Structure 1
C-alpha cells in the first residue's frame, strides 16, 4: 500500500463490493472476448465447410506434402472444374497417397476438408478458446461450475476433432 493513502478508503464494505463487482465485470469481458475470438478464428474455415451450397465440392488425392501444406489433383463431385493442383493445409490427419473430401474456397486453389472431420477440425480454435475462458471464469470470476462446463465443452470439442481427424 502506498504510505500516503489512508487505509480507510479500502476498508469499507461498500468499496470492497464495488471492487469485486468491477473485477467480475472485467473478467467477464475478457472471457467473452476469448470465446468471440475463438469463434472468429474458427469461422474463417468453418463457413466453407458448413455452408457448402454453391461451392465446389470434391475429392483431392494428396500427392505431395511440404512443411505446412499438401497438394494434389482435385476431382469435383459437384458442378465444378477438375484441377491439376489444389492446396490443403497440412494437419496430423493428412498424409500423402490418401484421398480426402474437400471444399474449394471461392476464387482460389485452396481447399479445406469437409465432412464431420472437417467441421470438427475447423472449430478447434473455439475449443482452445473455451479452455482459456474457463481459466478466466474460474480464477477471475470465481464461478467454478461455469468454468467446468466451459472446460468440458472445450475438451470435448478438441477430443472429438482429434478422434475424427
Structure 2
C-alpha cells in the first residue's frame, strides 16, 4: 500500500508542473508570434509613422510590372527634391495613372504610402499575427476571452486595411 500512496502523491505534484509547463510554452509561442508581427510591420511602419524629417510628397504611377510600380515623385515637404523615377510595391494596391501620398525611404528611390492607408497597410503583418496568436491563446492557454479580443483586433485591422486600400 505505501508504494501506491507514494505513486499517487507524485502524480498529484506533477499535474501543476505540467500545467505550468504548458502555460509557459504556449505563452512563449504567443509572445513570439506577436513579436514577429511587430517586427514584420516595423520595416514599413517606421517610415510612415515617424515621417518627421523624412521626404514626403506624391507619386504618380506611370508603369507597373511584376510586383513593383514606378512613377514620378513630386515633393510636398521642405528639403525634398523631385525625382523622375521612384518605385513602390504593387501590393500596396496602386493603379497606373493615379497619384498617391508617399514617404521616401532614406537613401533610396523606394517610397511607401503614407496617410491612413499607409499606416494600416504597414501593420498588416501584425494583424495576421494577432489572428494566429488568438488560436494559440484560445487552445494552448485556454483564455477564450483574451483570444476573442486578439482575433477581433486582428480582423478589424485587416478589414480596415482592405477597405481603405
Counterpart position of 1:118: 118
Deviations 1:84-113 (A, max 9, x none): 010001126211110000000000000000
**What TM-score results when the alignment is normalised by the length of structure 1?**
0.92
Structure 2, unaligned stretches of length 5 or more? 1-6
Deviations 1:50-84 (A, max 9, x none): 11111000000000011211000000001211000
Contact kept in structure 1, 2:103 and 2:113, CA below 8 Å: yes
Matched, 1:68 2:67: yes
Residues 28 and 91 of structure 1: CA distance in aligned 2, closer, same or farther (over 3 Å): same
Counterpart position of 1:56: 55
Counterpart position of 1:27: 26
CA distance in 2, matches of 1:57, 1:73: 13
Matched, 1:40 2:14: no
CA distance in 1, matches of 2:83, 2:92: 24
Counterpart position of 1:161: 161
Matches within 5 A, 1:128-147: 128-147=128-147
Contact kept in structure 1, 2:92 and 2:121, CA below 8 Å: no
Deviations 1:5-48 (A, max 9, x none): xxx58971221111011001110000001001100110110010
- Runs of 4+ residues over 2 Å off in structure 1: 8-11
Contact kept in structure 2, 1:128 and 1:154, CA below 8 Å: yes
CA distance in 2, matches of 1:10, 1:102: 66
RMSD: 1.4
Q: How many residues align?
A: 158
CA distance in 1, matches of 2:59, 2:114: 11
CA distance in 2, matches of 1:9, 1:134: 36
Deviations 1:105-159 (A, max 9, x none): 0000000000000000000000000000001111111111111110001001000
Contact kept in structure 2, 1:9 and 1:15, CA below 8 Å: no
Give the helix-richer structure, 1 or 2. 2
